[in-house]
Amino acid sequence: MEIKVLGPGCPKCKTLYQATLNAVKELGIDAQVVKEEDIVNIMNYGIMRTPGMVIDGKVVFSGRIPSQTEIIDFITKATQ
């Protein structure tokens, strides 16, 4: 599984990246977490507000920092 955190490096994007790492660790799954900071690559996903998250090529949300429970839910649903 590949999880991309989309954002140009702002504090919210960094917070989401760390929360995602924590969620992956808590779930005990094998996932590669990548921080995508290139604005052109971010725009290619069609999101207008950061931070955002992409799991295995699919945008799951953008424009906010979800709760830890929501992040875990997004990842769990993607593994099913």
Query: Phi, psi at residue 8, to the nearest 5°?
Result: -75, 5
> What's the helix, strand, coil split of the chain in %, to 5?
40, 25, 35
Greatest alpha-carbon span in the chain: 32
From CA 37, how far away is CA 78, in angstroms rounded?
A: 23
Give catalytic residues, as residue numbers. 10, 13
